[in-house]
Structure 1
Amino acid sequence: MSKRVLMQEAKNRIHVVFEREHCRSGMEQVPALSCIDEPGPLRACLDKLDHLVGLNGVKEFVKEIYAWLEINKRRRAVGLSADQQVLHMMFTGNPGTGKTTVARILAELFREMGVLSKGHLVEVERADLVGEYIGHTAQKTREHVKKALGGILFIDEAYSLARGGEKDFGKEAIDTMVKSMEDYCNDFILILAGYVEEMEHFLHTNPGLPSRFPIRLHFTDFSLDELMVIAENMLQERQYRLSLTAQEKLRHHLSKQLAVQDQPFGNARYIRNIVEQAIRNQAVRLLHMRYTSKEELMTIRGEDLRFHHHEEKQRIYSWYNEKG
């Protein structure tokens, strides 16, 4: 019994189907050039992706890209044509939804697959690209493109390049990027990131942009349960844990924040700020204790979780015997 891989491309989507088939005599068997289950750098990249909380749609698409690259290797090995696809991408979504993290994993994955020679990530924003006088912006933009050769150039809040109108130097950065995508078409991958509506407006500032970004991934906000898992993971990495009361307090606070519809939510970035502040608060609390047990040093209590006064005024009571 062997695996047969069927590919069907539709709007840059690659569908991989594994079916059973009996090996027929006389048919040439194409050996797998790399195996997704074998330990190594490639498997480590995919494991990093799998360990991210949520992002199921993004994970599936990344695995489609992996499948397409792998099958192209097998096609070339038996003398078949292997068309290249443009891999420049657009990531949309609120802050803290994992866009930069996924871009970094993609850089490593593409290096292991032989798409990128270096696999590094160069992260920039408007201030890094826009200069102060005519010609300065083009120079700065070209410099960052050259730094990104062999890897990924990631432009966060890319829509800010188009905010100033026709006379703004941001337009010069956009035009320079379009030309660089032609000059170095296979030497780097450009990923633009930002809010959904702003990025759609940005695409229409240059007629050459929409067709150059065939891959568009949307990063949805995390659910309440996913945010709690992210918080617990962050604490576990630092060898801390939440007490039962702290869990209830954090869940209640996040539930209220998610219910606010008129402002973007910070997602994992917001969780990181809460976690780091709670750790500092715990340190101040424990400093006044002469003796502290290992359990006390590891536990974040409800009183250590403090939110802005206008966001959280209601005290959370718990059956668990603890302050806060």
Structure 2
Amino acid sequence: METIKSLETLSQDKNLNLKQVYLDTQIQKVIDILNQELVGLKPVKKRIQEISALLVIDKLRQNLGFTVGNPGLHMSFTGSPGTGKTTVATRMGDILYKLGHSKKGHLLTVTRDDLVGQYIGHTAPKTKEVLKKAMGGLLFIDEAYYLYKPDNERDYGAEAIEILLQVMENQRDDLVIIFAGYKDRMEKFYASNPGLSSRISNHVDFPDYSPEELLIIGKMMLEEQQYEFSPSAEDVFLEYIIKRREQPLFANARSIRNALDRARMRQANRNFDNSGRLLTKADLVTIIEQDITKSSVFSLS
């Protein structure tokens, strides 16, 4: 007696319509939003697509009565600041919710201070309270390597990690945990916690943006606020990006947003100084070359 349907029979089964199953999940809408929100990041988007594909196939297998195991959804996001890690985590929550792998799909973002106490008996209740709020969704732990401080015997980060490990193992259906931070520090963090590393199936590295990608991001940010570059300002802003990337504390899209905020202030001040004349609509919406070249980045070169 056959224990499973033949391939010929399966091909006639309406439940095997992969395209329809995919459409029913509506996750393409989430992926489309992700593509609109984030420039570049092709390897990241590819990995999210792969995870989504696995979950859709699992859903199809489940519809046909096949055994479906827990796919292991805990993740590690590594990369520089401002590369879209939190945005991707939010959209991942939407995808998992639509596929039935998350009851609520919400994202709770925390750091060490939210999990680790300052005295004996303080860490466990803090960590458990955070986990309670995150249940049914995703817990995003930023700069997760700060949880582990082996040189400090009085540090309670190890207690928080132990509680997280228990939840990751025993409540995998109720919570997805994402550890995030700089790649080199995260690698050391996992090396010192083999139990933690073994529970994370998906390691996603977020590359830095290129200058051209950052220019596109900047133009998108301006458009959201109903501003635009003049043609010459666009060229100068690309030059600004190239110079700024070589300086300390550069944070990709975050640094671009900060730079544009300062450019808008210079534009406002310039218009205010010229308040003796009537302002046009173009005056109010256009960032010109000098709004950018007054940045200290150019004075340092």
TM-score, reference length from structure 1: 0.83
Map 1:268-279 onto structure 2 (within 5 A). Answer: 268-279=253-264
From 237, 256, 266, the equivalent of 2:224 is 237
Match of 2:243 in 1: 256
Taking structure 1 as reference, are residues 211 and 235 closer, same or farther at Cα in structure 2, changes over 3 Å only? same
Match of 2:3 in 1: none
- Structure 1 stretches lacking a partner, 5+ long: 1-22, 316-324
- 1:199 aligns to 2:186 (yes or no): yes
Cα distance between partner residues in 2 of 1:141 and 1:158: 13
What displacement does 1:215 show? Answer: 0.7
Taking structure 1 as reference, are residues 240 and 308 closer, same or farther at Cα in structure 2, changes over 3 Å only? closer
What displacement does 1:257 show? Answer: 2.8
User: Does the CA-based 8 Å contact 1:278-1:306 persist in structure 2?
Assistant: no
- 1:147 aligns to 2:136 (yes or no): no
* Larger RCO, structures 1/2 (Cα 8 Å, 6+ apart): 2
- Structure 2 stretches lacking a partner, 5+ long: 1-6
Match of 2:252 in 1: 267
User: Does the CA-based 8 Å contact 1:222-1:267 persist in structure 2?
Assistant: yes
What displacement does 1:280 show? Answer: 2.1
Cα distance between partner residues in 2 of 1:91 and 1:62: 12
Taking structure 1 as reference, are residues 24 and 126 closer, same or farther at Cα in structure 2, changes over 3 Å only? closer
Cα distance between partner residues in 2 of 1:269 and 1:230: 10
- 1:213 aligns to 2:213 (yes or no): no
What displacement does 1:83 show? Answer: 2.3
- 1:190 aligns to 2:174 (yes or no): no
Map 1:38-117 onto structure 2 (within 5 A). Answer: 42-51=27-36, 52-117=38-103
Cα distance between partner residues in 1 of 2:251 and 2:147: 22
Cα distance between partner residues in 2 of 1:158 and 1:134: 21
Cα distance between partner residues in 1 of 2:178 and 2:9: 46
Match of 1:291 in 2: 278
Cα distance between partner residues in 1 of 2:170 and 2:132: 11
Runs of 4 or more off by more than 6 Å in structure 1? Answer: 23-26
Taking structure 1 as reference, are residues 297 and 37 closer, same or farther at Cα in structure 2, changes over 3 Å only? farther
What displacement does 1:162 show? Answer: 1.3
User: Does the CA-based 8 Å contact 1:149-1:188 persist in structure 2?
Assistant: yes
Taking structure 1 as reference, are residues 37 and 282 closer, same or farther at Cα in structure 2, changes over 3 Å only? farther
1:30-58: CA deviations, max 9, x gaps? 234745567x8533211112221011011
Over the aligned positions, Cα root-mean-square deviation in angstroms equals: 2.3
Match of 1:123 in 2: 109
Secondary structure of the residue aligned to 2:261 is: helix
What's the % identity of the aligned pairs?
40
- 1:246 aligns to 2:237 (yes or no): no
- 1:313 aligns to 2:299 (yes or no): yes
* Higher share of residues assigned helix: 2
User: Does the CA-based 8 Å contact 2:211-2:241 persist in structure 1?
Assistant: yes
Secondary structure of the residue aligned to 2:69 is: coil
What displacement does 1:279 show? Answer: 1.6
1:128-159: CA deviations, max 9, x gaps? 11111112112111111111111110011001
What displacement does 1:306 show? Answer: 5.7
Aligned-partner residue type, residue 271 of structure 2: L
